[in-house]
């Protein structure tokens, strides 16, 4: 039904990889930061209300690109990349301090688990057992429940890597937030020489369970707090999406994007068809069914260009879906880094994932993890300029 070839986006991508190749040479020459050496540094960032210390780990490459991740929620707090003039800027929404993260319901930058996105009525069946999860989103379970992986302090682990990297791990005990099995999870963040942020996840369990890990960074390529992302030009390699009901639960249908506001098969400004998407609040908050045509399991999922700064971002993943969310629930009440507020559409998220509510849809790829198997997945966010 959906072609595996992808002509419009493919030609854009081939073109852009040439542009990207050239651009990668330029920022190094123009970068305002001193071209230095790779580094990994850690500093105390504060403590949780329970008194657990939280550290902020910063990975920097030779071009001055850096990402800072804290142990609380294995959360991306800062993401600093050059613009077309080599000027470095922080493109991740978040806060300068730790405390505003605690009451947060926006999941800024966090590692999401055990199950990213929604499970209808918080219920699923597995091997003849019924499970009930906390209902934290209008009668459904969202992003792992009341106290998901985003609200836990992860343990930093030693990691061997040629590039700056940090690994976090945690054991989620059997029954945590209603999910079965002791789940041992790790997530590794790496910054490469060619301005890529790689996020690799692994997990094992001792009982059959379901799992869907992702990262919830809110990107504003013009800089966090600098207006909205409505003029950003987005391409998503998806010929189909999963339509949802009013509670954002998939109906089960896998629908062709052609002729809908979900057609990003050629580069399109986010704001162009946003109103036609509808929803309360209006905007994109949908799972796109990624095409696996070009590079089999591992492929380019999306590309974004920000016109004023020239920053570009490409997303590569081995996951079947991409939740494209345009910050519809932001309303300007959160004051973020540098005292700037975050209005509606102040950022977009590209959450690589399995489809929402997969445990209740046999026609969606399975999210079951069995004892003896290892869950492994990697997503890369590649930054450049145009």
Task: Choose which of 285, 291, 305, 318 interacts with ligand GLA (CB under 6 A).
Answer: 285
Q: By CB under 6 A, which span of 12-20, 80-88, 146-154, 321-329 interacts with ligand GLA?
A: 321-329
Q: E strands within 230-339?
A: 233-236, 238-242, 255-256, 268-269, 285-290, 299-305, 311-317, 321-325
Outline where the chain has alpha helix (H).
7-30, 274-277
Residue 361 to residue 288: CA distance in whole angstroms: 16
Build a one-symbol-per-residue string for 64-93: x at contacts with ligand GLA by CB under 6 A, - elsewhere. Answer: ------------------------------
| Contact status, residue 200 vs residue 191, Cβ threshold 8 Å | no
Contact residue for ligand GLA among 45, 72, 107, 149 (CB under 6 A): 107
349 near ligand GLA, judged by CB under 6 A:
yes
Q: Which of 216, 286, 354, 361 is catalytic?
A: 216
Nearest-approach distance from CB 46 to ligand GLA, in angstroms? 23
Q: On the CB side of 244, how many CA atoms lie within 13 Å of its CA? A: 24
Query: Does residue number 325 form part of the binding site for ligand GLA (CB under 6 A)?
Result: yes
The least CB distance from residue 187 to ligand GLA, in Å, is 18
DSSP state of 121: G
Q: Is 351 a catalytic residue?
A: yes
- Binding residue (CB under 6 A) for ligand GLA from 166, 238, 248, 289: 248
For ligand GLA, the closer CB: 109 or 164: 109
Instruction: Using the minimum distance from each CB to ligand GLA, give the nearer residue, 84 or 114.
Output: 114
Which pair of tokens denotes residue 338? 């540098």
Stretch that binds ligand GLA, among 169-177, 257-265, 308-316, 322-330 (CB under 6 A): 322-330
Q: Which of 292, 294, 314 is nearest to 303 (CA)?
A: 314
Residue-by-residue DSSP string for 17-30 = HHHHHHHHHHHHHH
Q: Give residues 128-187 in contact with ligand GLA (rule: CB under 6 A).
A: 142
Contact flag: residue 323 with ligand GLA (CB under 6 A): yes
Instruction: Kindly tell me which residue out of 329, 331, 341, 374 binds ligand GLA, with binding defined by CB under 6 A.
Output: 329
Neighbours of 158 (CB within 10 A): 6
Nearest to 115 by CA among 90, 136, 138, 84: 136
**Annotated active-site residue in 57, 351, 354, 361:** 351
Q: Give the residue from 238, 363, 351, 235 showing the smallest Cα distance to 291.
A: 238
Is there a contact between 368 and 188 (Cβ–Cβ < 8 Å)?
Answer: no
Q: Which stretch binds ligand GLA (CB under 6 A): 2-10, 51-59, 305-313, 323-331?
A: 323-331
- Specify whether 273 is catalytic: no
Among 66, 106, 190, 192, binds ligand GLA (CB under 6 A): 106
What is the C-alpha to C-alpha distance for residues 313 and 292, in angstroms, rounded to an integer? Answer: 19
Active site positions, annotated: 216, 351
Residues contributing to the site for ligand GLA (CB under 6 A): 106-107, 117, 142, 248, 285, 323, 325, 329, 349
């Amino acid at each position: 039904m959906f072609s595996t070839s992808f002509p419009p986006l493919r030609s854009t991508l081939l073109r852009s990889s040439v542009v990207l190749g050239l651009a990668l040479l330029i920022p190094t020459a123009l970068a305002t930061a001193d071209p230095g050496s790779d580094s990994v540094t850690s500093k105390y960032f504060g403590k949780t209300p329970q008194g657990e210390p939280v550290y902020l780990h910063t990975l920097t490459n030779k071009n001055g690109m850096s990402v800072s991740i804290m142990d609380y929620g294995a959360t991306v707090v800062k993401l600093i990349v050059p613009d077309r003039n080599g000027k470095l800027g922080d493109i991740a929404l978040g806060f300068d301090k730790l405390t505003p993260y605690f009451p947060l319901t926006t999941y800024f930058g966090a590692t999401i688990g055990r199950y990213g996105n929604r499970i209808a009525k918080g219920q699923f069946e597995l091997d003849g057992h019924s499970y009930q999860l906390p209902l934290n989103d209008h009668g459904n379970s969202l992003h792992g429940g009341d106290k998901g992986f985003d609200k836990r302090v992860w343990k930093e682990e030693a990691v061997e890597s040629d590039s700056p990297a940090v690994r976090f791990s945690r054991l989620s005990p059997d029954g945590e937030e209603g999910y079965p099995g002791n789940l041992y999870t790790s997530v590794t963040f790496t910054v490469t020489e060619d301005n890529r942020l790689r996020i690799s996840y692994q997990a094992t369990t001792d009982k059959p369970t379901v799992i869907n890990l992702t990262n919830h960074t809110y990107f504003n390529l013009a800089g966090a707090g600098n207006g909205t992302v409505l003029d950003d030009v987005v391409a998503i390699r998806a010929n189909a999406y999963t339509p949802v009901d009013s509670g954002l639960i998939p109906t089960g249908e896998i629908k062709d994007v052609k002729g809908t506001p979900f057609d990003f098969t050629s580069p399109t400004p986010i704001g162009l068809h946003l109103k036609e998407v509808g929803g309360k609040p209006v905007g994109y908050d949908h799972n796109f069914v990624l095409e696996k045509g070009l590079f089999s399991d591992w492929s380019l999922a999306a590309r974004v260009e920000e016109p004023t700064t020239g920053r570009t971002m490409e997303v590569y993943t081995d996951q079947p879906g991409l939740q494209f969310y345009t910050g519809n629930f932001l309303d300007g009440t959160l004051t973020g880094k540098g005292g700037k507020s975050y209005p509606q559409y102040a950022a977009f998220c590209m959450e690589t994932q399995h489809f929402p509510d997969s445990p209740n849809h046999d026609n969606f790829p399975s999210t079951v993890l069995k004892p003896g198997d290892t869950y492994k997945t990697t997503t890369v966010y590649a930054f450049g300029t145009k």
